[in-house]
A = this chain, B = another copy of it.
Amino acid sequence: MKKINIGILGFGTIGSAVYELINVNHDMIEKRLGLDLHVSAICDVSPNIEHPLLVRDARDVINNPAIEVVVEAIGGEKPALSFILAAIKKGKHVVTSNKEVMALNGDKIFSAARKNNVSINFEAAVGGGIPIIGPLSHDLLANNLTEIYGIVNGTTNYILSKMTKEGTEFEAALEEARKMGYAEANPKKDIEGYDSSYKAAILASVAFNSQIDWKNVYFEGIEKITQEDISYAKEIGYIIKLLAVAKKYEKECEVRVHPTLISQEHPLASVSGPMNAIYVKGDMVGELMFYGQGAGGLPTASAVVADIINCYNVQCPISNFQFRKLKVKPIDEIESRYYIRLTVPDKHGVLAGISKAFADQKVSISNVVQKETIGKIATIVIIIHQAKEANLRKAIARLEKLSVVKDVCNVIRVGL
C-alpha cells in the first residue's frame, strides 16, 4: 500500500470536486490499485472558503516535503504558472486542469518536468472528464493522426444548440446559459473562442507530437452568429458549431477555431447542449469520436484523479483483477420495459383478455396501439412499464394460450 500525499491549489469548482472524489472513491481506488490517496493540504485565498486543511499561502503546499503531487486547479495563467514551476522544481508531480497555462506555457512546463524527472499530466485541460489526452498519447500511438475536430466549449455549444433547437437569438440564449450555470458572469473567454483556442493548441500538440504555439492559433467566437445564419444553414442540411480544427500535413499544420457549418449527418452534429466531443482521424484507425461532459466539477475531477494515479506506475487493473466473482443476475431477475407485437382476431373482448394476463402477473401496460388489420387479423403493439423478466415471461406464456391471441410475434426489451 502506497500513501500519496496530495496538495490542492485552488478550491473552487474543480479543486473541491477533486477533494470530494477522493473522499467518495478512496477505498475503491485503494482496493483496486494499492494507492492510498490522501489530500494533505488545500490552498485558496478566497475569504469565504473554510476547510480544516486550508492554508492561505501556496508555498505551504509547494514547500511541504510530504506532498508528492500538486493539483493545480486555480485556472488562468497567473499565478498558476509560477506555482506549477515551483512545484516541479521541488520534485513534485503536477496535475492540472488549466488549459490556458498549458497552451501558453507548455514548452516551459514540459522542459521543467523533464529536467526534474516528474510527471505533468493535464487530461482535465481538454474535454473535462472525456478521456482524450490519454487515448491520443497512448492508445492511438500507432497512428499518424491527421485531423481533429472538437466541440470543446460547453458554453458556446449550449448557446448554439439553443439557437438551433428553439429559434432563440444569441443574446437570449446567452442569458439562458448564464441562468443554467453554463456561462460565467463574464463569458468573454468562452464566447470569443479563447477557451477553445487553448484546447485546440493542446490537442494539436499532443496529436501531432509537436509544440504548437498558441499565438499561431487563429480563432473566432460565436458572437456574430444570428438566427438567420442558423436557419439558412439548416435549410441546406447544415448545423453551426464552434469547432476547434487541427489538420496535419507533411511539414505544416492548421490549428484554428471558428464557427463552422457541418453536415447534419455528421456525428458531431448531434453533440448538443453543454456536451463536448472530439472527432479524430488517424491513418490506420480511421474515424473516432470521444463524447461526454466537457466541464463540471466531478467529471473534471475524474480526469484529475486519473492523472494523479498515472503519476505512478501502478499495475494496470486488467492483469490485476481482484477476481471477486461479481454475481451475474439470471435473465429472469432483470427488470426492463418491453415492446410486444401480437396478432389477434379483430373482435370484441380481445383487450380485456390480454390485459388480465398481464395484470395477473403484476405486469403493467404503458401503452397499447392497434396497428394494421389484414382480413380478420389485427396487429397490436403493447409497451410494458418496467417489469421483472420472470413475470413478463409468465404473462407471455399465458397470452400464447389465450384464444383471443393468434400469435405473440415478438418481444423486445426497451432501454435507454
Interface residue ranges, A against B (CB under 8 Å): 21, 24-25, 28-29, 32-33, 107, 110, 113-114, 119-121, 123, 129-131, 133-135, 137-144, 149, 205-206, 208-213, 216-218, 224-226, 228-229, 232-233, 236, 238, 240, 243, 245, 248, 251-256, 258-263, 266-268, 270, 282-293, 296, 298-299, 301-303, 305-306, 309-310, 313, 316-331, 334, 339, 341, 367, 369, 371, 379, 381, 383, 409-410, 412-416
Shortest distance in angstroms between A399's beta carbon and chain B's nearest beta carbon? 17
Main secondary structure of the interface of A (DSSP, over half): mixed
This chain: copies in complex: 2
Given A216-B328, A339-B233, CB of A226 within 8 Å of CB of B285: no
B381 and A210 form a contact (CB under 8 A):
no
Shortest distance in angstroms between A50's beta carbon and chain B's nearest beta carbon? 24
Of the candidates B138, B254, B283, B303, which one forms a contact with A310 in the assembled complex, judged by CB atoms under 8 Å apart?
Answer: B138
- Distance A325 CA – B206 CA, assembled complex (angstroms): 13
Given A243-B415, A288-B130, A318-B206, CB of A229 within 8 Å of CB of B341: yes
Shortest distance in angstroms between A199's beta carbon and chain B's nearest beta carbon? 15
In the A-B complex, list the 4 residue pairs whose CB atoms are closest, starting with the nearest: A131-B139, A142-B305, A129-B285, A216-B328
B134 and A268 form a contact (CB under 8 A):
no
Q: Which residues does chain B contribute within 8 Å of A262, judged by CB atoms?
A: 414-416
Given A129-B285, A256-B331, A416-B262, CB of A33 within 8 Å of CB of B217: no
A110 and B319 form a contact (CB under 8 A):
yes
A326 and B248 form a contact (CB under 8 A):
yes
- Distance A29 CA – B209 CA, assembled complex (angstroms): 11
- Distance A252 CA – B229 CA, assembled complex (angstroms): 51
A142 and B21 form a contact (CB under 8 A):
yes
Of the candidates B255, B267, B301, which one forms a contact with A270 in the assembled complex, judged by CB atoms under 8 Å apart?
Answer: B267
Measured CB to CB, the nearest residue on chain B to A232 is B381
